[in-house]
Structure 1
């Protein structure tokens, strides 16, 4: 696997390295090169360096033509991760966020805050994901109430959430509330008490509606958080799947080893 030069002050191109162990003959080379470079950039391996590879160096590194190597660089440039100019060496300009610094908020899926705004993308009763149906003890293909919302922080897209509830619950929500309030606040105001929240995080590829509203390419990986909300008897109230731009920081969780459980520290207001 290719490991970039560790020296941040390196002024000479890194030597060609055999990347054969990370290549897949079933995936187009342009896509593989793009994914490899994007992963390195997002991981901060090129911060402050002047030796980011150009087309010819990428062609040597991955044993492809210059034309094939050009496409990933163009795509990274369109995403704003690489700065390119005629006659100039490409430069990675993305700097991973400092989780302790200001700027975009740390990702807390169930977080409430007045600094967020919402854009309602879809709402109504329709066929929902099979996982959501099973949560409510229903077969795949069931029709339940669902809404898809874009959450915005200071005008910047933050995440897209897909909420599923029983029709008798979801249809009580006003469109005004869905456009202005966190779902937990809406449920609470309607007398629905959430006692337990279960969640899991993983990486995935978003559907087109998510890619479009987060400003991502269709096959760009994102962080996915699936949560289920339950009442005091354990009965399900809601299924939620949130898609988050992977460049955003994820909230830090702390485990108390003596007590045996994880907790998420409260984020201080900016």
Structure 2
């Protein structure tokens, strides 16, 4: 990872520090993409906050040993994302300031359990079809099996937040009305139908999302996102639902606190349930 260094570093003869970016370059990946990812990581990490020396096209070309044309594309992309401010005859400026924990607007990673929250839902797909092999295995079925599934975009105050892929057995999924799927958290839908969820299991990882997710979250196709896979189970441990949630990486995530003795996670301002 690139880290800004002070002028006490080895001098290149021009009065500036020597920065070796060889560790971030991969000959098998287009340079425009690598430069974009490196700069984006630095900006999101707050390395350019309050500074006036964000590199322009020629400086990037020199830093990464590429042409000015190649260096221009990452800057344009960062500008489109609102991370960099550019203007004719002016040096680019990184405008993004990482939020502090607890800043207003932070969002919870997972699902609101209650109705009447500030979340809304857009139903993207619904029906019976072949589901991911992982979901098949959760329900004890071979890969390639067809189950009920839906994809929904969850928004917070009008902003895209999460795209979810929900999978259930057909006899359960086909009970849900389109009206509910367009308006309610899935936990509320299940509860209203008398389905008792006793345990939830989750794992989190990072991945590049499918095109439908990138489009609805407003991301480039190669932008990685956080992925949370949850499985819901009844009192006998039988699976009720498999969920894969893709979280928009551009939005701040609310801090969560774990009570080690009690064993639950909560947001600081919430009471454990």
TM-score normalized with structure 1 length: 0.91
Match of 1:222 in 2: 225
The answer to whether 1:126 aligns with 2:129 is yes
Match of 1:40 in 2: 42
Superposed CA deviations along residues 137-182 of structure 1, whole A, max 9, x for unmatched, are: 0111110000000011111111111100000000000000000000
Match of 1:10 in 2: none
Q: CA deviation at 1:93?
A: 1.0
Q: CA deviation at 1:252?
A: 3.2
Superposed CA deviations along residues 238-261 of structure 1, whole A, max 9, x for unmatched, are: 00011111122334343444x384
Superposed CA deviations along residues 81-124 of structure 1, whole A, max 9, x for unmatched, are: 11110110101111222331212423234544521110000000
Task: Evaluate the alpha carbon distance shift between residue 15 and residue 86 of structure 1 in structure 2; reply closer, same or farther with a 3 A threshold.
Answer: farther
For structure 2, the 5+ residue unaligned runs are 8-14
**Equivalent residue in structure 2 for 1:161, among 137, 159, 164:** 164
Answer whether contact 2:150 2:167 (CA < 8 A) is retained.
Answer: yes
Counterpart Cα distance in 1 of 2:202 and 2:113: 13
Match of 2:11 in 1: none
Q: Which moved more, 1:15-24 or 1:47-56?
A: 15-24
Counterpart Cα distance in 1 of 2:192 and 2:71: 55
For structure 1, the 5+ residue unaligned runs are 8-12
Superposed CA deviations along residues 190-228 of structure 1, whole A, max 9, x for unmatched, are: 000000011111111111111111111011111111101
Match of 2:25 in 1: 23
Answer whether contact 2:127 2:149 (CA < 8 A) is retained.
Answer: yes
RMSD: 2.1
Answer whether contact 2:105 2:252 (CA < 8 A) is retained.
Answer: no
Match of 1:90 in 2: 92
Task: Evaluate the alpha carbon distance shift between residue 109 and residue 134 of structure 1 in structure 2; reply closer, same or farther with a 3 A threshold.
Answer: same
Match of 2:154 in 1: 151
Residue aligned with 1:180, SS? coil
TM-score normalized with structure 2 length: 0.90
Count of equivalent residues: 263
Residue aligned with 1:237, SS? strand
Q: CA deviation at 1:262?
A: 4.9
Q: Which moved more, 1:239-248 or 1:229-238?
A: 239-248
Counterpart Cα distance in 1 of 2:135 and 2:112: 18
Q: Which moved more, 1:259-268 or 1:116-125?
A: 259-268
Residue aligned with 2:182, SS? helix
The answer to whether 1:179 aligns with 2:198 is no
Task: Evaluate the alpha carbon distance shift between residue 111 and residue 203 of structure 1 in structure 2; reply closer, same or farther with a 3 A threshold.
Answer: farther
The answer to whether 1:195 aligns with 2:198 is yes
